[in-house]
Amino acid sequence: MKEEIKKKEKDFDTVAFFRSVKEKMAKATEGMTLQEERDYWKLLREGKVKLM
């Protein structure tokens, strides 16, 4: 007997979400030196800067 697998419509698309986060991170750090990036990520972790 062959069962049909019904695809449930996704409420949340994980791949699309992380792709958008990755693009925001790349845009935020574009043109920064390594030290500037380190300082930026430190501030982000501390909640002093938000990823747009």
| Res 10: pLDDT | 73
Share of the chain above pLDDT 70, in %: 85
Average pLDDT over residues 4-25: 86
CA atoms within 13 A on the CB side of 10: 6
Tokens standing for 25? 């991170």
What is the spatial distance between Cα 45 and Cα 52, in angstroms, rounded to a whole number? 14
Predicted confidence (pLDDT) at residue 1 exceeds the cutoff of 70: no
Please give the model's pTM, rounded to 2 decimal places: 0.63
What is the spatial distance between Cα 19 and Cα 8, in angstroms, rounded to a whole number? 22
What is the spatial distance between Cα 5 and Cα 9, in angstroms, rounded to a whole number? 13
Average pLDDT over residues 1-29: 84
> Band of the pLDDT at 43, cuts 50, 70, 90?
very high
Contact 52, 29 (CB under 8 A): no
